Amino acid sequence: MAKKIFWDKGHGGSDPGAVANGLQEKVLTHKIVEYAMSYLSANYTGFEQRTSRTGDQSVELNSRDDLADNWGADVFVSVHINAGRGNGFETYIYNGNVSAATQSLQNMLHAEILATMHEFGPTPDRGKRRADFVVLRETDMPAVLTENLFIDSSDHERLKNETFLRAVGEAHARGVAKFLGLQSIVSGPPQPTDSNRWRIQTGLFDNAETFARAIGRLKEKYSWLIHEQATSTDLNPRYRIVTGLFTGRNVAEYYADQLKKEFGWNVYIIEG
């Protein structure tokens, strides 16, 4: 039977949530969830998904859990942006009795989202927390609430970056897919339309740690030949990844798209 995923976009309508730096929480949570939902539809099968609001409607706090409960959702994810001038990422589950499944959903979402955020800059891990939030207390299924950086600190720079919001949405989707064991849609690369050789090159990673993590993730997923390129001066070390050769520009483009979708990286195709 298809698994049911309920996405709760924090706030909405007359309740903007936190507001600072020209940003509104309700707009950001809408975008992150939309990116999560599109990514799931494009990459997985065997599920249905709904959201607490399709656009900028007001949704009563107390009706959010009812929407999920009455539908019989298997998973509930509530997406928020933090405020209070801190930095970093945290997740919540209910602070009363929770199932092992709830904890495992929190673990999977937390790990997936934090790793993605790290790729865009330093991201303090504020921890896997517990609280008596209505949407966590009143829901009948595993429920997690994510607080995705701070709208009123230096974090807001990343919240203004659409690529970052997409990557964060997609990380939410991967966490849920992993938790539910959703089957991914496999579609292979296209037939090459030219016989030239091409490489994929990433944008610059600005520290060795992020770079090492990026290479780790790439190697875990693909068996390509990978060249590590350091264009460093002592004061300003910079790193990028260059892949081994693909025959056909359209084939390289196909894989470049995969990397963009999967990791949120900027990548370029160069002639090899």
191-206: burial string, b at 16+ Cβ within 10 Å, e else: ebeeeeebbbbbeebe
Interaction pattern, residues 92-131, with Zn ion; x per rule: CB under 5 A: ----------------------------------------
Cα–Cα distances in angstroms (integers) from residue 67 to residues 7, 156, 171, 179, in the given order: 10, 31, 24, 21
Q: Which is nearer to Zn ion, 17 or 169 (CB)?
A: 17
Q: Which is nearer to Zn ion, 4 or 80 (CB)?
A: 80
Give 26's DSSP letter: H
Cβ neighbour number for residue 93 with a 10 Å cutoff: 22
Cβ neighbour number for residue 42 with a 10 Å cutoff: 12
Interaction pattern, residues 17-36, with Zn ion; x per rule: CB under 5 A: x-------------------
CB 40 within 8 Å of CB 177: yes
Q: How far is the CB of 133 from Zn ion (least distance, A)?
A: 10
Which range in 72-80, 115-123, 136-144, 198-206 contacts Zn ion by CB under 5 A?
72-80
Nearest residue to the partner Zn ion, using Cβ: 80
The set of catalytic residues is: 147
Q: Tell me the two tokens of residue 28.
A: 């950001």
Which range in 57-65, 80-88, 210-218, 231-239 contacts Zn ion by CB under 5 A?
80-88
Scanning residues 171 to 230, which ones bind Zn ion (CB under 5 A)? none
Count, residues in the chain: 272
Q: How far is the CB of 145 from Zn ion (least distance, A)?
A: 9
9 belongs to the binding site for Zn ion (CB under 5 A): no
Q: What one-letter code names the amino acid at 6?
A: F
User: Could you give the CA distance from residue 81 to residue 186 in angstroms, rounded to a whole number?
Assistant: 33
Name the 3-class secondary structure at 104: helix
Q: Which is nearer to Zn ion, 53 or 80 (CB)?
A: 80
Q: How far is the CB of 65 from Zn ion (least distance, A)?
A: 15
User: Could you give the CA distance from residue 171 to residue 43 in angstroms, rounded to a whole number?
Assistant: 13
Give residue 110's Cα distance to chain centre.
10
User: Could you give the CA distance from residue 166 to residue 173 in angstroms, rounded to a whole number?
Assistant: 11
Q: How far is the CB of 26 from Zn ion (least distance, A)?
A: 8
Q: How far is the CB of 29 from Zn ion (least distance, A)?
A: 7
Considering only 80, 110, 174, 240, the residue that binds Zn ion (CB under 5 A) is 80
Binding-site size, Zn ion (CB under 5 A): 3
CB 183 within 8 Å of CB 43: no
Which residues, other chains included, contact 97 with Cβ-Cβ below 8 Å and sequence gap of 6+?
A: none
CA atoms within 13 A on the CB side of 47: 29
10 belongs to the binding site for Zn ion (CB under 5 A): yes
Q: Which is nearer to Zn ion, 8 or 262 (CB)?
A: 8
Q: Which is nearer to Zn ion, 10 or 175 (CB)?
A: 10
Q: How far is the CB of 236 from Zn ion (least distance, A)?
A: 37
Q: Which is nearer to Zn ion, 133 or 255 (CB)?
A: 133
What residues line the site for Zn ion (CB under 5 A)? 10, 17, 80
